[in-house]
Structure 1
Amino acid sequence: MKHFSLLFFLLFPFFAQSQSVTDTTLTGLTRSKLTPLYYGLGTDRLGGARMETLDSAIVLRISGLDTTRRYWRVRLAPSLSAYVPVEQVQVDTLLRFPAHALTGSWRTWGDTTNGPIPGRFDYLSVALPARLPYRSRQEVDPNRIVLDIFGATSNTNWITQMRTTKGIKNVWFEQVADEQLRVYIELNQSTHWGYSVYYQRNALITRIRRRPDSGKLKGLLIAVDAGHGGSNTGARGEQSKRLEKEFTLDVAQKLKKELERSGALVVLTRSKDTNIGPTDRIRAMRQLLPDLLVSIHFNASGTASVRGFSTYYKHLGFRSLSQAVLQELLKVDPHEFGNVGHFNFFFNAPTDYPNVLVEGPFLSNPADENLILEERFRQNMAKAIRKGLKNWVKKSQ
């Protein structure tokens, strides 16, 4: 009886999830360039676990609808499904998912005079019969980008590789499973500086950012995000009752001055007490394409004894940036909350540029709050972030 109970509880999440979806067979297209693709129906206060952010007009095989009618279940491959918000998909009853979608020609080249930032990108193009769904990830040691294309089958293609590439070292692919083609992009640089995946017509493009030449902050375009703002106040100090949004803006403005003294070009996501939503901030950064992004926040906990600095990343290739910044922050105050990975914060999600979320000390801890209230402490915090960025950029050469 004990064994049966244990087995039931182990399998219960599977039963619960499978019963929460009504089976159907439809085909749809993603509506926007920021369509989230989720691993499952689980969530936390920051949202669901995101597999990928898809481009617009991606053709999807819809295999079910959850009972809340909020998410479509989509079939990526025979043994892999994911979930997309209903409002992000245009169902088309006349559309059919392409069967036996064979890959076409492949090409890599380096940007010399064109592109959003001239001379800073390499490209891989894979011709496909339709805009098929995909997912990507970073790997380190060796540094590479791994891209899965779902519904695709390898054809007898060759890869044309131009000598203008600098960031791409090698490209190859393998058919890892039915309807799952895996692309490997080996990088010719010691750190990840970001990449984007998108379609141009039916060609899937992976754009890889090359590392800067100088190894210095001078000339880099750095985005500094002051968390919260306006009606989105953030945490509140237990003693002072002062709001997180005030401190994030103050540190962001101080960091801007620090970086500008180092010769960097700096853009703030907000320069006053305004409420700018996550989607608007992400869209603005996609247009700007900064070299680096730092988001400033201060922490809080229901346990008053918890304190210290922390930094956060989602993608493995950007962890070294978050570690470099945390190392300098701990010289300002040694209390450490930690370096947190695979974090589900909206500004950790982009792969387009290296990014780090900095959480200052806890407004819920009396000792930490006293530190935060000191202007000198906030100035030293800004200096430490600047030093962390400087060290990481130098080490990336």
Structure 2
Amino acid sequence: MKACNVQSCRLLMVLLCLSASPVLAQLPSIRDTVLTGYTRTALTPMYYGLGTDRLGGARMETLDSNVVLNVTGIDSTQKFWRVRLAPSLTAFVPVEQVRVDTLQPYPVGSLTGNWTVYGDTAGQALGPSFDYVAVRLPARLPYRSQQQVNPSRLVVDVFGATPNTNWITQLRSVQAIRNVWFEQIADETFRIYIDLVHEQSWGYSIYYQRNTLVIRVRRPPKTYRLRGLTIAVDAGHGGSNTGAKGNQSGRFEKELTFDVAQRLRALLERAGVRVVMTRTNDTLLGPTARIIAMRQALPDMLVSIHFNSSGNAAIRGVSTYYKHIGYRPLSQTVLQELLKTGATEFGNVGHFNFFFNVPTDYPNVLVEGPFLSNSADEALITNERFRQNMAKAIWKGIRKFVKKAR
């Protein structure tokens, strides 16, 4: 057997520790060992920090599979790898989502290549159509993205990269992208700017094709009306995941969300919408299964329906939630209509870490109906007329959002 150098031997020992201890009980001694890791799935979460609430830390990005990571240690809970993105920026990735490689070094000094900006052509896309920004890289480097408004723009940071892009080929087939450019904002942080033609962002996805980073920008609907759109409706909870329970009625949240979702479905279909339901019966579906299903369905937008609950029985009201600033208008218009049902206001909540607010692929909103833990709110919820009015309010809010986006 060929002798290994000190670094390779140390990494081999780390790998043996990992394989011998599923709960990573032996890892405190290697908290500061430098490793090269690769993301396992196309839904790998990357967090700013570890967080303390039930939703976990604030999510920085959802990474594609086989993205290379510069792992510098493990956190005290032994559940998250600490990842160095740039000299002054650290992130955390769940241990079970990373494959450690003892043979490959982290690609230091990666140079960006040339770009191509193009769009789907007539007849190419049967469903939604897109524009694309393809950036050639030497490896599948980590990234993060954000939406900006006024002006409408996408900003993508690629970590571990230095610009060597000397030309950007832009084809006339683009429709949703106005301009693209880049700058090196710091060591190992290469920033991509994508100016959008339309004020309202209709979604984008980031993924790799081999070592080419692709930013896929969704074009607006062909017409700004409900007819012809595909809208996903998510009835929260289901199966053994019952959700909250009414203090007076004893009714489960899963039953009530399904009732409102079915009412909303009927209203949307009557308006000519193709409705995609995440569940059509009392079925247990986890977050990952729901998100994967929506990635395949590619709806024009998504609404997830829940009812709220609190340990403080005095708290009440309806609320809507978003994570990405470009989707706030949808949450605002829906809340405005919900407040016309007679429910009080709990608020419009931003940068929320709910799993269905995380995708950037389509505008989305989490609707939290009144509180099952409040007696007055529970009386509203269990009233069939209120649930019909709630579904109608969501429908009206969606319709107004689409009209305003024009």
Aligned equivalents of 2:273, 2:124: Cα separation in 1: 21
TM-superposition CA deviations, 1:57-86 (whole Å, max 9, x none): 001111111232211111101111101111
Q: 1:264 aligns with which of 273, 281, 285?
A: 273
Look up the SS of the partner of 1:41 in the other structure.
coil
Q: TM-score, normalised by structure 2?
A: 0.91
8 Å CA contact 1:372, 1:378 repeated in 2: yes
1:43, distance to aligned residue in structure 2 (A): 3.2
For residues 292-332 of structure 1, give each alpha carbon's deviation from its aligned partner in whole angstroms, at most 9, with x where no partner exists. Answer: 10000001111122111100000000001000100111111
SS at match of 2:254: helix
Is 1:368 aligned with 2:393? no
Tell me whether 1:105 sits opposite 2:114 in the alignment: yes
Match of 2:237 among 211, 216, 228: 228
Deviation at 1:168, TM superposition (A): 0.3
Per mean C-alpha deviation after superposition, the further-off stretch among 64-73 and 286-295 is 64-73
Give the match for residue 95 of structure 1: 104
Matched, 1:180 2:186: no
Q: Distance in 2 between matches of 1:20 and 1:68?
A: 13
Shift of 1:113: 4.7
Letter of the structure 1 residue corresponding to residue 179 of structure 2:
N
Question: How many Å apart are 1:103 and its aligned residue?
Answer: 0.6
Distance 1:116 1:92, change over 3 A: farther
Contiguous gaps of at least 5 residues in structure 2: 1-27
Q: Which residue of 1 aligns with 2:198?
A: 189
Distance 2:71 2:250 in 1: 49
Decide which of 302, 312, 319 is 1:293's aligned counterpart: 302
| Pair 1:304-2:313 in alignment | yes
Q: CA deviation at 1:337?
A: 0.3
Give TM-score, length-normalised by structure 1.
0.93
Q: Is the 8 A contact 2:128 2:218 kept in 1?
A: no
Distance 2:199 2:264 in 1: 26
8 Å Cα contact 2:36-2:69 kept in structure 1: yes
Contact kept, 8 Å, 1:28 with 1:95, in 2: the verdict is: no
Query: Cα distance 1:271–1:20, how it changes in 2: closer, same or farther (>3 A)?
Result: farther
Match for residue 393 of structure 1 among 354, 378, 402: 402
* Greater displacement, 21-30 / 364-373: 21-30
Partner of 2:75: 66
Tell me which residue corresponds to 1:343.
352
Q: Pick from 37, 40, 44: which aligns with 1:31?
A: 40
**1:111-159, Cα deviation, whole Å (9 max, x unpaired):** 1257665562110000000000000000000000000000110014211
Measure the CA separation in 2 of the matches of 1:372 and 1:286.
31
Q: Which residue of 1 aligns with 2:388?
A: 379
Counterpart CA distance in 1 for 2:34 and 2:381 is 55
Structure 2 contact 152–200 (Cα < 8 Å) conserved = yes
Partner amino acid for 2:203? G
The reply on whether 1:149 has 2:169 as its aligned counterpart is no
The answer to whether the Cα contact below 8 Å between 1:154 and 1:175 also exists between their aligned partners in 2 is yes
CA drift at 1:96: 1.2
Distance 1:30 1:393, change over 3 A: same
Q: Which residue identity lines up with residue 321 of structure 1 in the other structure?
A: L
CA separation in 2, counterparts of 1:227 and 1:321?
Answer: 19
How far apart, CA to CA, are the structure 2 residues paired with 1:251 and 1:156? 51
Task: State the aligned residue count.
Answer: 379
Q: CA 1:156–1:376 in structure 2 vs 1: closer, same or farther (change >3 Å)?
A: closer
Q: Indicate if the aligned counterparts of 2:70 and 2:83 stay in contact, CA closer than 8 A.
A: yes
Tell me how far 1:226 sits from its aligned partner: 0.2
Aligned counterparts of 1:20 and 1:383: Cα–Cα separation in 2: 58
Change (3 A) 1:203 1:372: same
Moved more, 296-305 or 118-127: 118-127
Distance change in 2, residues 1:72/1:330 (3 Å): same
Conserved? CA contact 1:102–1:155, under 8 Å: yes
CA contact (8 A) 2:115 2:165 kept: no
Percent of aligned positions that are identical: 67
Distance 2:258 2:34 in 1: 49
Asked if residue 323 in structure 1 is aligned to residue 332 in structure 2, the reply is yes
Contact 2:145 2:154 in 1 (8 A): yes
Q: Is the 1:71–1:86 Cα contact (8 Å) retained in structure 2?
A: yes
Q: Matches of 1:368 and 1:77 in 2, distance apart?
A: 48
CA–CA separation in structure 1 for the residues paired with 2:392 and 2:93:
41
Q: Is the 8 A contact 1:20 1:66 kept in 2?
A: no
- C-alpha separation between the residues in 1 aligned to 2:242 and 2:136? 47
Q: Secondary structure at the match of 1:47?
A: coil
Q: Which residue does the alignment assign to 2:53?
A: 44
1:181-260 equivalence runs, <5 A:
181-260=190-269
Higher strand share: 1
Q: Is residue 113–residue 119 contact of structure 1 (8 Å, CA) maintained in 2? A: no
1:97: how far off? 1.4
**Distance (whole Å) between structure 2 residues aligned to residue 43 and residue 255 of structure 1:** 35
TM superposition shift of 1:232 = 0.5
Matched to 1:96, the amino acid is: P
Q: Which amino acid aligns with 1:131?
A: R
Unaligned regions of 5+ residues in structure 1, if any? 1-18
